[in-house]
Amino acid sequence: MNLQVDNLSFSYNEHTILDDISMNVASGEFVGIIGPNGCGKSTLLKNLYRSLTPDTGSIYLDHKGFKDLKVKELARKLGVIGQDNTLPFDFAVNDIVAMGRSPHKKLFQSDTKEDMEIIQNALEKVDMHTMADKNYLYLSGGEKQRVLLARVLSQQTDFLILDEPTNHLDIHHQLRIFDVIKGLGATVLSAIHDLNIAALYCDRIYVMKDGSIYQSGTPEEILTTDIIQEVFNIKTDVRIHPVTKKVMITYLPESILNKGENNIEED
Ligand SMILES: Nc1ncnc2c1ncn2[C@@H]1O[C@H](COP(=O)(O)OP(=O)(O)OP(=O)(O)O)[C@@H](O)[C@H]1O
């Protein structure tokens, strides 16, 4: 499943937030969106998963106009994790994950044995199977995020749009969840704050700045000291890690550099 976005613009009350965004995600690609707070990452993703409507521009999923897809058809193709973890009702964890199966079913059709296996499997993948009967409202922020990830896994879509899907998770669960998502082989477009996570998992990265696409390319092309300085206004040391063979970014804050104890040795 592939995504094509052409010349998308969006404003809130005359205030332009997204300006002429064009991007694409090829089938099976894992694409990240990075950029500073307020640059428009979430707004872009909301336009892509139809929570907002673009002012101008076109979106195609598998070459089919997005606007033409019916809600249920879209839910069978596209799984979404937004930034908001709040749910209006108090459901058990298991019930929330079961909601991921609804696009595949008729109204009021009960869960089949296969549905139950898919739900159990999704809960195990995010390490929440021991809390299946717990009330969602009483979970921690990270546990809630893992339940919503299980719901999207049980939806079994070929395309995932994720808005910082692990921002509440400890490092074990961050890596575990990204390993699971990567292992699905699905097409993924994800906003990611942690540049090292983006370096580890993304095939390609779009950098946003002030509501526009600033650069795009492979992690090696994008996660350079120069681009990180230009976009995030911070100093870094960037190398290829000898074990992962991926870009590894070390942040060099002024307070540490000013101590004058950290002379960076070139490889
Ligand atoms: N409902 C809204 N009404 C008006 N302006 C909004 C609204 N939601 C977001 N904005 C503004 O749109 C801009 C982009 O916000 P957005 O949430 O897309 O940024 P982001 O890149 O996802 O930021 P972050 O990294 O902090 O999550 C910001 O300036 C924000 O204040």
State how beta strands 78-81 and 159-163 pair: parallel
Query: In testing the pocket of ligand 1, which one of 19, 42, 81, 161 has its CB within 8 Å of the most ligand atoms?
Result: 42
Residue 134 Cα, ligand 1 centroid: separation in angstroms? 33
Q: Tell me the CATH architecture of domain 3-224.
A: 3-Layer(aba) Sandwich (3.40)
Q: What is the pLDDT of residue 209?
A: 97
Atom 7 (ligand 1) nearest CA? 12
One-character DSSP codes across 36-100: -TTSSHHHHHHHHTTSS--SEEEEEETTEEGGGS-HHHHHHHEEEE-S----SS--BHHHHHHHT
157 lines ligand 1 (CB under 6 A): no
CA of 38 to the centre of ligand 1 (A): 5
Which of 81, 78, 103, 82 has the alpha carbon at shortest distance from 25? 78
Domain-wise residue ranges, the chain? 3-224
* pTM of the predicted structure, to 2 decimals: 0.91
Taking the centre of ligand 1 as the mean of its atom positions, its distance from the CA of residue 253, in whole angstroms, is 26
Q: What pLDDT is attached to residue 57?
A: 96
pLDDT of residue 232: 97
Averaged over successive runs of 10 residues, the pLDDT of the chain (267 residues) comes to: 96 95 97 97 95 95 85 88 77 92 77 89 93 92 91 94 90 91 94 97 98 98 98 97 97 84 55
ipTM over 0.95: yes
Q: For residue 165, what is the DSSP state?
A: T
Are 101 and 128 in contact by the 8 Å Cβ rule? The answer is: no
Q: Is the CB of 40 under 6 A from ligand 1?
A: yes
**Dihedral pair phi/psi, residue 223, rounded to 5°:** -90, 65
Q: How far is the CA of 252 from the centre of ligand 1 (A)?
A: 27
Q: Whose CA is nearest to atom 24 of ligand 1?
A: 37
**CA gyration radius for the chain?**
20
pLDDT at 88: 67
- Among 8, 9, 12, residue to substitute to test ligand 1 (most atoms within 8 Å of Cβ): 12
Instruction: Give the Å distance between the CA of 78 and the centre of ligand 1.
Output: 23
38 lines ligand 1 (CB under 6 A): yes
CA angle (162 as vertex; 157, 168 as ends), nearest 5: 125
Say how far apart CA 127 and CA 130 lie, in whole Å.
8
